[in-house]
Amino acid sequence: MENNQEVAFNIFLKNFKKNVSKIGLKNSIQKDYILKVLYFSKEHLTAEEISNKIRENYNVSIGIATVYRAMKFLHDMKLVNMLDVGGSSIRYELSLAEHHDHLICNNCGAIFEFTDEIIEEQQEKVAKKNNFILKEHVMTIYGLCEKCQ
């Protein structure tokens, strides 16, 4: 018997496939596995970590170039957020959760999610003051986490 998370994921995947088909693009089993790994992950994952989790959890081999292409596709579809954590590492998360911003430790690479209504309101004010319609934004604060200070 499927648990609630599995049921929710299957509904999410079905809708994703329907939307991809509607706009005339192709889906692949590799994207399904990538989405499943991201959906059930509590972490922000690199392409390498996604590939490894697919191999470990589902016994399916997926090339790193395939993961990168899929991540670009999913990002373009606004399903995946890309997080630049500095260096050469990009981390990914599904963009299904409510909007949030990130704190990234420059030393250990830890990522902390946060929300702050004052920051959100201030961004709206700045946009309005400059006759700008705010559609979306990304806020990432870099520094040192409590452990690394």
- 108 annotated as ligand-binding: yes
- 120 annotated as ligand-binding: yes
- 101 annotated as ligand-binding: yes
- 99 annotated as ligand-binding: yes
| Three-state secondary structure readout of the chain | CCCHHHHHHHHHHHHHHHHHHHCCCCCCHHHHHHHHHHHHCCCCECHHHHHHHHHHHHCCCCCHHHHHHHHHHHHHCCCEEEEECCCCCEEEEECCCCCCEEEEECCCCCEEEECCHHHHHHHHHHHHHCCCCCCCCCCEEEECCCCCC
Annotated binding residues for Zn(2+), written as ranges, equal 105, 108, 145, 148
Annotated binding residues for Fe cation, written as ranges, equal 99, 101, 120, 137
Annotated binding residues, written as ranges, equal 99, 101, 105, 108, 120, 137, 145, 148
